[in-house]
C-alpha cells in the first residue's frame, strides 16, 4: 500500500498489555476483570489479524505494521509484529509520540474496533494518496483511526481525549493546520457491554464474538445487562485500553515477537 510519492504506509496499532483489572475496565460490571481481559485479548487478536491479512495481500505489500505497546509483549499476540514501547504521559502525548516515531505516511488505529477489516484498512491507507489526513470517527464521539501523510505529533498534542467531542476537536486541529481531511466510516468502539453486543451482532464469527459467548456461559453479562450498557466517562476510539490475556486454555501458540528500541523509523 503506497501513498503520495509511492511511499509505503506505516500502520501503527496502539495497545496496552492485557492484564485483568487494567484493560476494558468499563466492562466490569457486568463482566469480571478476567472476562473483560478475555474480551480485550480477542479484540486485539482480531485487530492484528486484520492488519496481518492486509499486509499479506497484494494491496498491502508496502504496509509496515508496528505495535506501539504499553507493557510487555507476550503469547497473547496472535502474530509476529514489530513492537516499540509507548511513551509516557497523557494519552494525547502518547498518540503524538507514536506518530513522531515514523517518517512517511502513517495510519494509527487502536484495538477497540475488532470489527475492522483488511479492506477498510486498505482504503484508509489509499486515501492518503489524495488527502493530507484521514480521520475515522467513533460512534461515541471519539475517533478510531487517524492517518497523516506527513506525521507530526504536534497535530495531536493538547487535543483532549476521552471526551464526546474528541473526534470533532481532532478534525478541527487538522483543518486549522491547513490539511485536507478525508473521512473514514464511523465505527463503534468497545467500551461497554452494549458496545460488545452490537459489535458481535455485526461480526458474529470473529474471536471477539466467541469470547463474548464464552463469558456469558461462564456467568458474565446476560443479554439484558449487555443491552443496558455501562457507566463512566467517554473514551475515544484509540482509548489506550488495549487487549488482555486470554485464558490459559484458549491462548494461541506463542509466536515470536520483535521488540525494537524506540527510534525514528526511516524508509
What pLDDT, in 10s, does the model give residues 119-173?
999 999 999 999 999 999 999 999 999 999 999 999 999 999 989 999 999 999 9
Q: Which residues pair with 9 in a beta bridge?
A: 63
Contact yes or no for 121/57 (Cβ under 8 A): no
Q: Tell me how crowded residue 171 is: count the other CB atoms within 10 A of its CB.
A: 19
Residue 135: phi and psi, rounded to 5, are -140, 125
- Mean pLDDT, range 202-210, rounded to an integer: 95
pLDDT of residue 142: 96
pLDDT at position 102 over 70: yes
pLDDT at 21 over 70: yes
Reply yes or no: is the peptide bond before residue 30 cis, omega within 30 of 0: yes
Average pLDDT, the chain: 84
Banded pLDDT at 247 (limits 50, 70, 90):
very low
From residue 71, give the alpha-carbon distance in Å to each of 18, 64, 98, 172, 240: 8, 21, 15, 32, 11
| CA-wise closest residue to 135 among 165, 161, 168, 157 | 168
Angstrom distance (rounded) from CA 103 to CA 123: 20
How does pLDDT run across 30-70, given as a tens digit for each residue?
999 999 999 999 999 999 999 999 999 988 888 999 999 99
Q: How confident is the model at residue 264 (pLDDT cuts 50, 70, 90)?
A: very low
d(CA 130, CA 264): 25
Domain boundaries, the chain: 4-247
Residue 89 has pLDDT above 80, yes or no: yes
Number of H helices, E strands in the chain: 7, 8
pLDDT at 235 over 80: no
Note the Cα 21 to chain centre separation in Å.
Answer: 19
DSSP 83: E
Q: Is the pLDDT of residue 255 over 60?
A: no
pLDDT of residue 208: 96
Grid cell listed for 146: 487517524
DSSP 16-71: E---TTTSSGGGTTTS-HHHHHHHHHHHHHHHHHHHHHHHHSGGGTTEEEEEEEES
Cα distance between residue 10 and residue 125, in whole Å:
9
Which CATH code is given to the segment(s) 4-247? 3.90.550.10
- The yes-or-no verdict on residue 232 having pLDDT over 90 is no
Which of 92-101, 106-115, 137-146, 249-258 is predicted least confidently? 249-258
pTM score, whole prediction: 0.82
Q: Residue 229: pLDDT above 70?
A: no
C-beta of residue 175 within 8 angstroms of C-beta of residue 131 = no
Q: Give the pLDDT confidence score for residue 59 in this predicted structure.
A: 83
Q: What are phi and psi of 87, to 5 degrees?
A: -70, 170
Amino acid at each position: 500500500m503506497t501513498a503520495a510519492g509511492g511511499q509505503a504506509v506505516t500502520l501503527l496499532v496502539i495497545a496496552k498489555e492485557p492484564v485483568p483489572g487494567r484493560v476494558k475496565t468499563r466492562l466490569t460490571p457486568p463482566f469480571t476483570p478476567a472476562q473483560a481481559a478475555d474480551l480485550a485479548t480477542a479484540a486485539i487478536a482480531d485487530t492484528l489479524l486484520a492488519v496481518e491479512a492486509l499486509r499479506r495481500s497484494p494491496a498491502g505489500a508496502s504496509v509496515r505494521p508496528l505495535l506501539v505497546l504499553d507493557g510487555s509483549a507476550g503469547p497473547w499476540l496472535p502474530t509476529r509484529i514489530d513492537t516499540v514501547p509507548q511513551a509516557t504521559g497523557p494519552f494525547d502525548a502518547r498518540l503524538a509520540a507514536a506518530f513522531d516515531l515514523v517518517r512517511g505516511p502513517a495510519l494509527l488505529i487502536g484495538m477497540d474496533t475488532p470489527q475492522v477489516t483488511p479492506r477498510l484498512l486498505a482504503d484508509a491507507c489509499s486515501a492518503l494518496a489524495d488527502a493530507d489526513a484521514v480521520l475515522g470517527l467513533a460512534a461515541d464521539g471519539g475517533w478510531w483511526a487517524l492517518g497523516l501523510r506527513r506525521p507530526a505529533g504536534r497535530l495531536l498534542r493538547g487535543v483532549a481525549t476521552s471526551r464526546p467531542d474528541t473526534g470533532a476537536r481532532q478534525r478541527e486541529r487538522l483543518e486549522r493546520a491547513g490539511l485536507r481531511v478525508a473521512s473514514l466510516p464511523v465505527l463503534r468502539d468497545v467500551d461497554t457491554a452494549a458496545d460488545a453486543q452490537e459489535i458481535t451482532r455485526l461480526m458474529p464469527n470473529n474471536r471477539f464474538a466467541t469470547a463474548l459467548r464464552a463469558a456469558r456461559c461462564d456467568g458474565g453479562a446476560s443479554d439484558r445487562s449487555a443491552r443496558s450498557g455501562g457507566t463512566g466517562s467517554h473514551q475515544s476510539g484509540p482509548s489506550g485500553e488495549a487487549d488482555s490475556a486470554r485464558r490459559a486454555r484458549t491462548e494461541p501458540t506463542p509466536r515470536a515477537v520483535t521488540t525494537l528500541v524506540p527510534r525514528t523509523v526511516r524508509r
